[in-house]
Amino acid sequence: MPIASAKDIILQILRAGDGEWTGKKRLFKAFYFAHLYYANCNPGLLTDWPIARMPEGPGIDKADTLIGGLTRDNCLTVELIHEGPYPEYRYRLTENGKAAPPPTAAAQEAVKQAAEFCVGKRGGDLSRLTHDHSRSWKMGKDGDILNIYIDAIPDEEYEQRAQEIERLEQLAASILEG
């Protein structure tokens, strides 16, 4: 059972950015990293909102639906700006967004860690980082919903678990064959 809604986490990311957040890729990565930080310290899920494989790394599946809902609820605004000659989005909390109740302390801490990790990094740098380290992104293909929680497991432990699953599958097959 998730402890927060995806909307709560988006609003908390903006709160961590003093009421605004610049960059769609950076927002996507902060959302993804918040889930990993939460998983590293807490049982259960931060949210149940899917994270999909996108060309630029793990991203918020159906983000337009999520962000559009927050915009319709007058919790945030989205404005098109430019970073140099390139178009980019800036997300800002409205008074409604500022007044929305925050998620649990554990969720706030995970978002804080994710936001601090993303601050000062460009979206492309965060994407390259996920390309290098996200096991789920490497294993998927664009559009797949990712099991991001395998990204939070050390390589050795992941390999041990994979070998144990393979052993159990072989055992089950031999039992079924009689």
The ranges assigned to domains in the chain are: 6-153
Give pLDDT, residue 58.
98
| Strand pairing category for 86-93 and 20-22 | antiparallel
Give pLDDT, residue 162.
85
Give pLDDT, residue 1.
80
CA dist 1 → 46, 55, 128, 140, 161 (Å): 9, 29, 31, 25, 23
Sheet containing 76-83: give its strands across: 20-22, 86-93, 76-83
Per run of 10 residues, the mean pLDDT along the chain (length 178 residues) is 94 97 97 97 96 97 98 98 95 98 97 96 96 96 96 90 88 85
Closest listed residue to residue 32, CA positions, set 50, 17, 44, 15:
50
Give pLDDT, residue 92.
98
